[in-house]
Amino acid sequence: MAGGKVVTLSDAEFDSSVIQSDKPALVDFWAEWCQPCKMLAPTVEELSEEYDGQVIVGKVNVDDNPSTATKFGIRGIPTLLLFKDGKVVQQMVGVKSKAEIKKLIDESI
């Protein structure tokens, strides 16, 4: 995954990295054992490069960071949440196409 700009987020720094950020943030909630999550990972990686400087793109491992996943009511993974001004403005559950995700980001930024 050379050249990627995806930030690994944990419970500890989630608020400072995402909620308090002045940029929108796309956060991928995933787990190591989740096959659909692995299918979505390259798309998230590509989006992080395309939106570099405009949108923070991060990943939260739900097994390692259960309190963040619980806080945002993550029940199914992969789930993508788009944050703007510290609030969730969009949510997508399941594997989505790059075009679908880009549309969501573009509508919100």
For the whole prediction, is pTM greater than 0.85? yes
- The string of pLDDT tens digits covering residues 55-93 is 999 999 999 999 999 999 999 999 999 999 999 999 999
| Residues acting as catalytic residues | 34, 37
Q: Please, are residues 39 and 101 in contact by the beta-carbon 8 Å criterion?
A: no
Cβ-based neighbours of 34, under 8 Å, separated by 6 or more: 77, 78
3-class DSSP state of 99: helix
**Structural domains of the chain sorted by starting position, each given as residue range(s) with its CATH number in brackets:** 7-104 (3.40.30.10)
pLDDT at 4: 58
pLDDT at 108: 86
- The string of pLDDT tens digits covering residues 6-32 is 999 999 999 999 999 999 999 999 999
